[in-house]
């Protein structure tokens, strides 16, 4: 699959498109900040550009990759989500990063849920993991909200990461976790919804 063939995915609030050159400044801002500390950062300008170029090259090499998350109405970018498997990765990963000032609105959940659905139904994936730094509590919490559970027996990248295994397509079908994800996303989408409390994480 070439870069030009990257599918466009739509959710309630978001559009997921392949990473474009003009989106780079947002990516650079995040990867040169402390926000990227669990993802190999912070990076200098050259390193950030090379990683962005690699995000684009990943699509061409693997046929899947990370989408840029856009607001459906304004086109503003909020982060990236999708699949990631550079050489040395034991399994195909579902990964995400949200720009620091866009966190807390459920965008990662909405985008990642859609990306996983796409890989399961269109990409033929029957399994996926997320490799997460054990100190990255926000990401661990998101993995759990997506129904992933820590897999102590799975191979890690380098021994410094925890492996969270996503539910299989079969496990997700008509499941309580799938209903829960849909409900949570719908609550984020409805600005009038007033939750009785917030998850502490």
Partner 1 sequence: MPATVPHIHTARLTLRPIAPRDWEPFCACAMSDRFQYITGKQDLGGAWRLFAAELGHWQIKGFGMWTVTETGDDDTALGIVGPWFPADWPETEIGWIMFEGGEGKGYAFEAAEAARAHVFNTLGWETAVSYIDPENARSIALAERLGAIRDDAAARPHPDDLVYRHPKPEAV
Residues lying near partner 1 in the complex (CB under 8 A)? 2-4, 21, 24, 28, 44-46, 48-58, 60-61, 86-88
Least distance in Å: CB of 165 to partner 1? 22
Q: In what order do the strands lie in the sheet with 14-17?
A: 9-10, 14-17, 66-71, 77-84, 93-98, 129-132, 162-165, 149-150
Least distance in Å: CB of 187 to partner 1? 37
Largest CA distance in the chain: 47
The alpha-carbon radius of gyration of the chain (Å, integer) is: 16
Least distance in Å: CB of 57 to partner 1? 3
Give me the residues paired with residue 10 across strands: 15
Least distance in Å: CB of 158 to partner 1? 9
Strand boundaries in the chain, DSSP class E: 9-10, 14-17, 66-71, 77-84, 93-98, 129-132, 149-150, 162-165
Given the complex with partner 1, which of 50 and 149 has the nearer CB atom?
Answer: 50
Least distance in Å: CB of 50 to partner 1? 5
Given the complex with partner 1, which of 13 and 58 has the nearer CB atom?
Answer: 58
Given the complex with partner 1, which of 142 and 163 has the nearer CB atom?
Answer: 163
CA distance 67 to 9: 9
Least distance in Å: CB of 52 to partner 1? 7
Given the complex with partner 1, which of 163 and 181 has the nearer CB atom?
Answer: 163
**Which three-class secondary structure state does DSSP give residue 132?**
strand
Given the complex with partner 1, which of 44 and 127 has the nearer CB atom?
Answer: 44
Does an H or E element contain 119, and which? helix 107-121
Say whether the peptide bond before residue 42 is cis (omega within 30 degrees of 0): yes
Given the complex with partner 1, which of 1 and 182 has the nearer CB atom?
Answer: 1
């Amino acid at each position: 699959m070439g870069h030009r063939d990257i599918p466009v995915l739509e959710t309630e609030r978001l559009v997921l498109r392949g990473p474009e050159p003009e989106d780079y400044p947002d990516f650079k801002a995040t990867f040169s900040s402390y926000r990227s500390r669990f993802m190999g950062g912070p990076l200098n300008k050259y390193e950030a550009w090379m990683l962005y170029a690699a995000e684009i090259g990943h699509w061409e090499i693997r046929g899947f990759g990370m989408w840029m998350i856009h607001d459906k109405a304004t086109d503003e970018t909020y982060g990236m989500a999708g699949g990631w498997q550079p050489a040395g990765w034991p399994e195909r990963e579902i990964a995400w990063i949200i720009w620091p000032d866009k966190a807390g609105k459920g965008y990662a959940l909405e985008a990642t849920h859609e990306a996983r659905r796409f890989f399961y139904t269109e990409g033929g994936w029957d399994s996926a993991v997320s490799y997460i730094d054990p100190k990255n509590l926000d990401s661990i919490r998101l993995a759990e909200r997506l129904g992933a559970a820590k897999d102590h027996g799975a191979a890690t990248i380098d021994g410094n990461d925890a492996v969270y295994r996503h539910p299989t397509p079969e496990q997700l079908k008509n499941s309580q976790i799938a209903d829960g994800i849909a409900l949570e996303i719908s609550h984020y989408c409805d600005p009038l919804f007033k939750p009785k409390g917030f998850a502490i994480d």
